[in-house]
Structure 1
Amino acid sequence: MKTTLILNANIVNEGKVFTADVLIKGQFIERIGENITVAADEVIDAKGKYLMPGVIDDQVHFREPGLTHKATIQTEARAAVAGGVTSFMEMPNTNPPTFTQELLESKYSIASQSSLANYSFYIGASNDNLDEVMKTDVTKVCGLKIFMGSSTGNLLVDNEKMLEGFFSRFPSLIATHCEDEFTIRKNTEEFKAKYGEDVPVSAHPLIRSEEACYKSSSFAVDLAKKHGTKLHILHISTAKEIALFDNSIPLSKKKITAEACVHHLWFNDKDYTRLGTRIKWNPAVKTAHDQQSIFNGVLNDNIDVIATDHAPHTLEEKAGSYFKAPSGGPLIQHSLVAMCEFYHQGKISLEKIAEKMSHNPAILFQISKRGFIREGYFADLVLVDLQSAWTVSPSNIYAKCGWSPFEGQDFKSKVTHTFVSGHLAYNNGTFDERQKGLRLLFNRS
């Protein structure tokens, strides 16, 4: 088994920053300590750099199968490891949607052959696949995804009897996209009456409004409380929703949890003027007040996880008018450095970044032996140079779509090395694809 010795690293882990060495043997962390002197196949002097647990992104859209002109599991996993993301959980709105166990396992097969990062895939809910969903092995699948708001095709679950069935019967985590479809349609018609087809993109947060988000999120919370469901609400976008989530108990005991996405922390509605449909997401980027409230929710532990909702489209697709341009954008390569930028601004600590992006996803999803820098755990590790400035440009973007809402942004920090299950998958701009990532496993009964 190959051994790698990382020397003199500033380790960010479990609420502390301390200097130590880390010995990797095969897929695992063998030893953490000072002045480790054993011989190793590879030695990396990390003096001055920060060693963090690999980021676990609990919400991505890698577009395979069926939408591979936008992205593939291979291309987006490369972008992930270049950004320090060592594990991802991918959504079911591919083509065809992931509504059956057969389609779910076909994704795992693709990833086993092509993904540099570790992986898991959600089974998707529809208005008629409850029995199929109940076949899911929750020790090998991250969770069930329910679109309780507008989505494409038949992914929208709006049958209340079926929702009751999922919430009462599914034995593990349910992740939801919460926007009320009726409210969105009503708002859309009002703006169409005023503007016709030429609705400005700045109307997006008014169409997909605070009311639409809160009505759906509060409904999901009520359902979860009624049935004792383990509910995780994705991409919180409004200040009003923060009060739905408890920060008085440890994450391991929470039944109802929430995620914030990097774009809702970074952008607000003033940015539509500059970036237009490039920052058109569902749920929408909203006001500066919402933006700050979400950040406070992260710091105060009402919100448990930071992720990306990485959802690439081509520039040609995004160049369409408001109703034609799809929602979503590429973010996974820049999520960690964006959060490090907030660290440089004094808004968040490195320890809190590791907690929200690595530790908490592992706790929340009950991931086996990942998310922490611990002896005996998988060596999912990222080295960050906090004093290595660079600028995002098309020439250094790895997502297949080739663009980013962060283009032109100067970041003070750079990911230099990413280890995935002990394998140095990314090293200063070079990928080693000889070893692929592993399927995530979950400590659930």
Structure 2
Amino acid sequence: MTKLLIKNAQIVNEGKVFKGDVRVVDGKIDSVSASIAVQDEKVIDAEGKYLLPGLIDDQVHFREPGLTEKANIETEARAAVSGGITSFMEMPNTKPPTVTMEALEDKYAIANKTSLANYSFYIGATNDNLEEVLKADPKNVCGIKVFMGSSTGNMLVDNEVTLGNLFAKAQMIIASHCEDDPMIAENLEKYKEKYGEDIPMECHPEIRSAEACYSSSSKAVALAKKHGARLHILHISTAKELELFQNDIPLKEKKITSEACVHHMWFSDEDYKEKGAFIKWNPAVKTKEDGAGILAGVLSDKIDVIATDHAPHTLQEKSNTYLTAPSGGPLVQHSLQVLLDFYKQGKISLEKIVEKACHNPAILFEVENRGYIKEGYWADLVLVDLDAPQKVEKSNLNYKCGWSPFEGHTFSSSITHTIVSGHLAYENGKFNEDVKGKRLTFNR
């Protein structure tokens, strides 16, 4: 039986901040109290630090199998843990794509052996695999991923009959990437006519436009309403899309929910000149007004969760021109630090960060016994020092790809300890990989 005692922490949980102690016994939270007497256990003195539930990231791309020159489950789970993310839900656009139960279970087997964080994997929908998708067990698979707008090989689902059947029959969350491909293709042709092969990177949000996002998102919402489906729209990138969502009912009662990603709130189209392909994502980073609108949507509860869409590529790939550089970038190591910088800037409270990055993903996906600092729950915990600045440099990156869009920035706060299912997995820059993370289960 493993035992751990965290003392003197400022605990952030369920809308409150209070000083207290947390005892962990055999992987779970045994007690939370103002003061707990020391017994025969490892003690972490958290004086001056804040204790949060571990973050649950509902959208990552860890690239295994088949794309492991970019990343793999082992390296990216380690990076996530160093950033305070204790659980992740990973996407199906790997090679081969995760569109069969066999491919899905292969990924679970890899994670069981290598992932320092807790894990779940989406099964991917295609135009012709509905029968396979419906085999997934809602109790141990996080959801179904649908690319309703995508440049991701054969995973674009654009067959109207298939989409209707999926939304009518799915027994779990449908998580959707929403961009209108025909609109994007038309825009791209216009920019090719204007610039040839040398399209400037700052044209990306005009090619993958706000209109293309809204067109696809509104179509997904209409489908979900028609069929009574449980829809979760990923990485909202425009302020206009907020009108598609409600904030007048509790999250548990919502059938249509949405996600914001840290990069859409941090960067803007003004950053393309300096950052180039390193901030090229799909959907695109757009205007400052869009970023501010997304953050306002988070604060008003129109947007329900904050995640990353962590999607690394090699430095060589990202060093290409607009038409050949892939979209996506590494984020899991620094997403909590981004949010803590927002807190320091007065843009969001610690309580709201925990609500959107810890509690709400657990509610939205019905994750079993995680996402809170509660007795009887799994001990997924992160300690942060709000007064320990950290500069992002290549030497302190944990991503396999070896780069970050935040390089050169000094974050105001640091993650000092991360506990995953009761195991002290990360402490002051050092990993303990003796115990791996666990497969997430769901109360469905």
Structure 2-normalised TM-score?
1.00
Cα deviation, residue 151, structure 1: 2.4
Correspondence 1:400-419 to 2 at 5 A: 400-419=400-419
Partner of 1:110: 110
Matched, 1:74 2:110: no
The corresponding residue for 2:301 is: 301
Corresponding residue of 2:6: 6
Q: Distance in 1 between matches of 2:210 and 2:40?
A: 55
User: 1:438 & 1:134 partners in 2: Cα distance?
Assistant: 24
User: Partners in 2 of 1:342 and 1:34 — Cα distance?
Assistant: 29
Q: Distance in 2 between matches of 1:387 and 1:276?
A: 31
Q: Secondary structure at the match of 1:48?
A: coil
In structure 1, what is the equivalent of residue 133 of structure 2? 133
Aligned residue type for 2:228: G
Give, in angstroms, the shift of residue 150 of structure 1.
1.9
User: Residues 257 and 303 of structure 1 are in contact (CA less than 8 Å); yes or no, is this contact kept in structure 2?
Assistant: yes
Q: Taking every aligned residue pair, what percent have the same amino acid on both sides? A: 66
How big is each residue's C-alpha offset from its partner over 1:310-356, in whole Å with a ceiling of 9 and x where there is no partner?
00001100000001000000000000011000000000000000000
Using the alignment, how far apart are the partners of 2:329 and 2:152 within structure 1? 16
Question: 2:201 maps to which residue?
Answer: 201
Partner of 1:62: 62
CA distance in 1, matches of 2:179, 2:390: 37
Partner of residue 390, structure 2: 390
Separation of aligned partners in 1, 2:411 and 2:173: 35
| Equivalent residues of 1:50, 1:383 under 8 A apart | yes
Counterpart mapping for 1:264-303 below 5 A:
264-303=264-303
Give the C-alpha shift of residue 390 in structure 1. 1.3
Contact 1:5 1:40 in 2 (8 A): no
SS in 2 for 1:163: helix
Which residue does 2:17 correspond to in 1? Answer: 17
3-state SS of 2:153 partner: coil
Deviation at 1:153, TM superposition (A): 1.4
CA drift at 1:26: 1.0
Distance across 2 between alignment mates of 1:238 and 1:176: 15
CA distance in 1, matches of 2:152, 2:275: 24
Asked if 2 retains the 8 angstrom alpha-carbon contact of 1:13 and 1:351, the reply is yes
3-state SS, counterpart of residue 377 of structure 1: coil
Aligned residues: 444
**Residue equivalent to 1:236:** 236
Shift of 1:38: 4.0
Q: Deviations over 1:131-167 (max 9, x none)?
A: 0001010100000000000222110000010000110
Per-residue deviation, 1:41: 1.9
CA offset digits 1:246-285 (Å, max 9, x no partner): 0000000000000000000100000001100000000000
1:249 corresponds in structure 2 to 249
Residue 431 of structure 1: aligned partner: 431
Which residue in the other structure is 1:367 paired with? 367
Q: Amino acid of the residue matched to residue 387 of structure 1?
A: D
Is the Cα contact below 8 Å between 1:330 and 1:399 reproduced in 2?
Answer: yes
Separation (CA, whole Å) in 2 of partners of 1:58 and 1:76: 14
Find the counterpart in structure 2 of residue 150 from structure 1.
Answer: 150
Is 2:172 aligned against 1:172? Answer: yes
Q: Which digits, 9 at most, give the CA deviation of each residue in 1:167-212, with x for residues without a partner? A: 0000110000000010000000000010011111100000000110
Aligned to 1:83: 83
Letter in 2 for 1:212: A
> Aligned equivalents of 1:383 and 1:245: distance in 2?
33
| Structure 1 Cα separation of the partners of residues 247 and 34 of structure 2 | 36
Equivalent position of 1:121 in the other structure = 121
- Alignment partner, residue 342 of structure 1: 342
Structure 2 counterpart of 1:30: 30
Contact kept, 8 Å, 1:259 with 1:307, in 2: the verdict is yes
Partners in 2 of 1:2 and 1:120 — Cα distance?
25
Q: Distance in 2 between matches of 1:284 and 1:24?
A: 42
User: TM-score if structure 1 supplies the norm length?
Assistant: 0.99
C-alpha displacement of 1:300: 0.4
Q: What SS does the aligned partner of 1:154 have? A: helix
How many angstroms does 1:40 deviate by?
3.1
For residue 238 of structure 2, give the secondary structure of its aligned residue in structure 1. coil
Q: Show the counterpart of 1:420.
A: 420
CA displacement 1:399-430 (0-9 Å, x = unmatched): 10010000001111000000000000000111
Q: Distance in 1 between matches of 2:40 and 2:230?
A: 44
**Residue identity opposite 1:225 in structure 2:** K
1: CA distance, partners of 2:172 / 2:23:
35
In structure 1, what is the equivalent of residue 222 of structure 2?
Answer: 222
CA distance in 1, matches of 2:246, 2:356: 16
CA distance in 2, matches of 1:240, 1:32: 42
Alignment of 1:256-267 (within 5 A): 256-267=256-267
Q: C-alpha distance in 1, partners of 2:339/2:209?
A: 26
Contact 1:139 1:441 in 2 (8 A): yes
Q: Please give the per-residue CA displacement for 1:73-119, whole angstroms capped at 9, x wherever unaligned.
A: 00000000000000000000000000000000000000000000000
Larger displacement relative to structure 2 (351-360 or 37-46) = 37-46
Query: Which residue identity is paired with 2:116?
Result: L
Gaps of 5+ in 1: none
In 2, distance between residues paired with 1:239 and 1:56? 24
Q: What is the identity, as a one-letter code, of the residue corresponding to 2:218?
A: S
What residue is the counterpart of 2:98 in the other structure? 98
